[in-house]
Amino acid sequence: MPRSDRLFRLLTALRALPQPVTAARLADETGVSPRTLYRDIDALRAGGALIDGAAGFGYTLTEDPALPPQMFTRLEVEALVLGLAEVRLAGDPALTRASDAALAKIIATLPERVQRQAIHTAQQVYRFEGRPPAPPHLAVIREACWDERALDIDYRDRYDTQTRRRIWPLSVVFLDRTLMCLAFCTLRQDFRRFNLGAMSAVTPTDIFFRPRRVAMLREFVKQLKEATRKPA
């Protein structure tokens, strides 16, 4: 692993793990030997990171040179913590890890007083009725949206009919109990909403529809809004 990547992983671990973090835990997280870890700690310190501690006591990142200072009000801090907690409840494992890393980066840039507010916020997220686990293909669909890549899916519609579709995924919508994919269906030649739980197979193709996703998504959302405004 390149040294720059290794130092970045070490900074990420220092931001995310409960502090002080032992050298053994940091070495395990970054996949290096303890001797290499000590050298990397020294390299980060030389680069401007304020890292308290020493071998045998654990390390604490007190100032992070990689991130600019941030300032949030207490309410803004609570909003960030609650929003990222929702991501952990609803997202796939990759999104969960990303939300934890994002919160750690945000907290690392805050003044000490605001850091305490973020860590000990008075707001918590808990649901007695747990959401269904994220479908295993959620990450593939999210990636295809960004790449503007067509997907082949096996799909069971609301009439319990199994079909094979090619779709252009535009966005994933997180509802209370369901995840939906807004997409253009090449079979129907129209916009459709697909329940991720009704997909039994999702396969990326070599067909791209860029740079059309943003414009198509805007048009789809416009149609949805117009449909909700129509009289019953």
Please name which of 83, 90, 94 lies closest in space to residue 196, comparing C-alpha atoms: 90
Q: What is the pLDDT of residue 115?
A: 73
Q: What is the pLDDT of residue 76?
A: 81
Percent of the chain with pLDDT over 90: 27
Residues 117-123: what's their mean pLDDT? 69
Q: Which of 39-48, 111-120, 153-162 bottoms out in mean pLDDT, i.e. has the lowest?
A: 111-120
pLDDT score recorded for residue 167: 96
Q: What is the mean pLDDT of residues 112-126?
A: 69
Query: Residues 222-226: what's their mean pLDDT?
Result: 87
Contact 182, 171 (CB under 8 A): yes
Q: What is the pLDDT of residue 107?
A: 79
pLDDT greater than 60 at residue 150: yes
* Cα dihedral 125/120/66/16 (nearest 10): -60
Mean of pLDDT values over 225-231: 75
- Cα dihedral 76, 100, 62, 64, rounded to 10, equals -90
- pLDDT bracket for residue 113 (50, 70, 90): confident
Q: Model confidence over 41-88: pLDDT tens digits? A: 998 888 888 888 877 788 888 766 665 556 677 788 888 888 888 888
| Residues 18, 41: Cα–Cα separation, whole Å | 17
Neighbours of 23 (CB within 10 A): 18
